[in-house]
Structure 1
Amino acid sequence: MSTDANLRLDVREEAGRPTLAVITGPLDLHTAPSLHRQVTLILHQSPSLILDLTGVTYCDSSGLNTLLRLHLHAQDSGGRLTVAGPPAQLVRMLTVTGMDTVLPVYGTVAESQETYGPS
């Protein structure tokens, strides 16, 4: 599944595990709206979702806002969204803004999967 020419979203499902959405490319003003739409659709089908941000090449405030909105949407729907493997630039943004205390952030997908309990 592709969100636009610059940002790619690949969804991986594995029995007994939360759905994994792998995001590759820039998460910015131009790509964030499309990502929000796509991930919202995924959350309607799979309320437990891990966003793998290892491949995110850039993130601006629009991308940061989108991550927060998706997290809140998951919570409001009775689901759970976690973030795994954010690049250093995004980790700094999450820390400086205090979003790392709101949005569950893990260093790797495996660490995030462990928080969802046994498979």
Structure 2
Amino acid sequence: MWQGRDALIVAITGDLDVDNVVPLDTILSEAAEGGISPVVVDLSAATFADSTTVNVLLQAHTALGPALRLASPSAVLERLFTITGLDTVLPLFASVTEALEAEPSAPLGTDGGDRED
């Protein structure tokens, strides 16, 4: 985890499941309560996510709104988001840099919103 003056970056490694997603939930909840913006979750090294993780991310999205930005989803998570349709709901960005540079109201999508549906 890295926190600067204007952003919080949380790097996830390994599996995210019911047994170990609580720290992420805590960090995201505290960020929402503290008004930190943006909050970037780097998912490039995540190897697995279960429904508990999806729930945590959806709750964080509700609490943080456009301040929550998911960056660099690993192939496994990108597939999960696509299959479940979460790629149209959660704010996904191709990289941490892109997530940090995005406008607060930037359209969603792994390509920064240039996607045509």
CA RMSD, 1 decimal: 1.8
Measured in 2, the distance between the counterparts of 1:47 and 1:14 equals 10
1:64 to 35, 54, 59: 54
Measured in 1, the distance between the counterparts of 2:43 and 2:73 equals 5
2:21 maps to a residue whose letter is A
How far does residue 26 in structure 1 lie from its aligned partner after superposition?
1.2
1:32 maps to a residue whose letter is V
2:24 to 23, 30, 35: 35
1:29 maps to a residue whose letter is V
Unaligned runs of 5+ in 1: 1-9
Question: 2:69 is matched with which residue?
Answer: 82
Aligned residues: 103
What TM-score, normalized by structure 2, do the two folds share?
0.77
Measured in 1, the distance between the counterparts of 2:8 and 2:22 equals 21
Q: Structure 1: which 4+ aligned runs deviate by more than 4 Å?
A: none
On the 8 A contact 2:38/2:100 being kept in 1, the answer is: no
Measured in 2, the distance between the counterparts of 1:97 and 1:73 equals 21
Q: Deviations over 1:50-100 (max 9, x none)?
A: 11111212111211221111111112xxx6101001111111111111111
Question: 2:101 is matched with which residue?
Answer: 114
Measured in 1, the distance between the counterparts of 2:20 and 2:79 equals 21
Q: Deviations over 1:9-62 (max 9, x none)?
A: x2x1234x4221112221111112332122211232213211111121211121
User: Which stretch shifts more, 80-89 or 46-55?
Assistant: 46-55
On the 8 A contact 2:73/2:94 being kept in 1, the answer is: yes
Question: 2:40 is matched with which residue?
Answer: 50
Q: Secondary structure at the match of 2:69?
A: strand
Identity %: 31
